[in-house]
Structure 1
Amino acid sequence: MFKFKSLGISLLLAIIGISVILSPLQASRTDTKIYYQDQVAVLMYHHIHDQDKSSGTITTALFDNQLKELTERGYQFISLTEFKQFMQGASVPANAVLITFDDGYQSFYTSAYPLLKSRQIPAVNFVITGTLANPLATYIPYMTNEQISEMTHDAESSIDAQCHTDSLHDKLPNGKAKIVGHIEKDGLTETDEAYNQRILQDITTCRDKLSVLGEKPIDSLAYPFGITNKQASKLVHEAGIDYAFTIIPKMATRSSDPLRIPRINAGNPNITPELLHRDIQRRIVARPNKEK
């Protein structure tokens, strides 16, 4: 009897010991570290390709590794819809991240979209709709109407297609972006009224072309080159855009101007997964201490 009791006590102690050892290990696997709350790291990408080289092009492997790193570190990916709701006052998960792509390159469809879908990560692509008429006309091909429609209607993913203007993604001879500069022709400078109408018409055209390719409202835009000014933002809003994104490298908060939303560049080939994590960390907006 004594032997059975001793054996029982030994087993109990062994179980307790194992539990003590396992507890911190289990906690590290299940507890998500909160880096920040009530703000969003909006990440910006352009082109995903394994042969093309540029400051705005990263490989498929690097993109996948970035997503893997952020996921393992406890970042929570949100959709454009959730981001807009956040800007209107709704809550978002801790460590919230929104993935955005600019230009509408076909590499998004062939390389990024499958990875995003497999990981169930939402994203938005800001499309230059002037390319839709002839998407294969340039060295880097653009997405087709059919590809955009397929993604935005895919029930197993959450992909948005929004505006990057129709034909304003260019610069004038004087170096100014077309969205903020006045065109000069035959020695005459475009009037303010003509400029206003040009911007309004372009954004309206962009929205019209995309509205037939998806079911969600076309109310968001990324400024070409991230450039805007007070008048351009005013006109963009008048044309039906409620949320416009820049390339100002900051975190997005509810106090951010919805027509000047900041974004953090993640699409440079030198941005390793670890570097991306650190870049987000150093841009976190400190919350005021209410316990004073």
Structure 2
Amino acid sequence: MPTRILMTCLLFAVILYAGYDTLAPKADGTYRDQVAVLMYHHVHDTDHSASTVSTALFREQLSYLLSRGYHFISLGDFKQFLAGGPVPDKAVLVTFDDGYKSFHDFAYPILRELQVPAVNFIITKDLDTPLAPSIPALSPEEIQAMMREMPGLIDAQCHTNALHFKEGKYAGLTGRLPLQGGRTETAEEAEQRVRQDSEACAHKLDGLYGRDGAGDTFAYPYGIYTQRTQEIISAAGFRYAFTIVGEMATRYSDPLAIPRINAGNPAIDPRRLDVTIRQRVVHPAP
């Protein structure tokens, strides 16, 4: 390639990168009557994965959004929004999946400092032996301490009791699993297993909060669910459930299929997260 053409291409690339923010909608990015629900998993400074962000990046993301005029809301605020209540312009809900201990050790101090609410969807079987999983889980004492320190701002909800796994190509929450003796569950047996697991998750959350009906919100492992799954968890008392579909949440969102925007990848810097949210804003607001 001739040198002049190469230099022109490089100059164009630099200009394109410098104008990164211009790829997003113009003006101040203000939106109303919709919520950007952000999804995280693991905040850690020595673990590395596609769903792990460092404490520095997590702080930078939240601080940058605050500086850009975003308003963080709680799970309780979000439920009222779905019921018709108001939320601030540029509303954001922070969610975590998997109930890792790192939420308490690394994410929570930043949330507390910045006064940012969050909900963590926990695998409730881990409450009994939180140090047993390969990535340690939150203990009941840690969850309850955070809820006492930030009342109404920190929540724990359901990511199944014990069905956060895949068996071959099937997810534990939706598939018919193999049984001893070489046979596979019937549809009725699979539904009964999911029903019992959902009821166990709700029961353990009620015990964690110390009141009935506290466990009413669900996040589907791997974002996998079916209409029958929705019916089963609804019968167990869950009124809201979150997916991994990367869209804005509105009052017209199915309460058992609420979208979320992934923010928990180490490649998502603060500016990119801001752009991603603005690109997903629904125009006009529903």
Question: Which category of TM-score, normalised to the shorter sequence, fits these structures?
Answer: 0.7 to 0.9
Q: 1:262 offset after TM fit, Å?
A: 0.3
Q: Is 1:259 aligned to 2:256, yes or no? A: yes
Bigger Rg, which one = 1
- 4+ runs deviating over 6 angstroms: none
Paired amino acid for 2:171: A
Instruction: Decide whether the 8 Å contact of 1:83 with 1:98 is kept in 2.
Output: yes
Instruction: Decide whether the 8 Å contact of 1:151 with 1:157 is kept in 2.
Output: no
Q: Is 1:180 aligned to 2:178, yes or no? A: no
User: What stretches of structure 2 of length at least 5 have no aligned partner?
Assistant: 1-26
Distance 2:204 2:29 in 1: 40
Instruction: Decide whether the 8 Å contact of 1:153 with 1:215 is kept in 2.
Output: no
* Aligned-pair Cα RMSD in Å: 1.6
Q: 1:215 offset after TM fit, Å?
A: 5.4
TM-score normalised according to structure 2 size = 0.86
Instruction: Decide whether the 8 Å contact of 1:117 with 1:156 is kept in 2.
Output: no
Distance 1:214 1:110 in 2: 21
Distance 2:126 2:52 in 1: 19
Distance 2:37 2:72 in 1: 10
Higher relative contact order by CA 8 Å / sep ≥ 6: 1 or 2?
A: 2
Q: 1:124 offset after TM fit, Å?
A: 0.2
1:69 to 53, 64, 67: 64
1:242 to 239, 244, 247: 239
1:148 to 143, 151, 154: 143
Q: Is 1:197 aligned to 2:179, yes or no? A: no
TM-score normalised according to structure 1 size = 0.85
How many percent identity over aligned positions?
Answer: 51
User: CA offsets, 1:164-206, max 9 Å, x none?
Assistant: 0011100013x11111101122232212221121111101111
User: CA offsets, 1:105-160, max 9 Å, x none?
Assistant: 00000111111111111100000011122211233111111101111222467100
Question: Cα gap change, 1:85/1:288 in structure 2, threshold over 3 Å: closer, same or farther?
Answer: closer
Distance 1:155 1:271 in 2: 27
Residues 21-170 of structure 1 mapped to structure 2, 5 A cutoff: 33=28, 35-155=30-150, 158-170=153-165
Distance 1:157 1:39 in 2: 21
User: What stretches of structure 1 of length at least 5 have no aligned partner?
Assistant: 1-31
How many residues are paired up?
Answer: 257
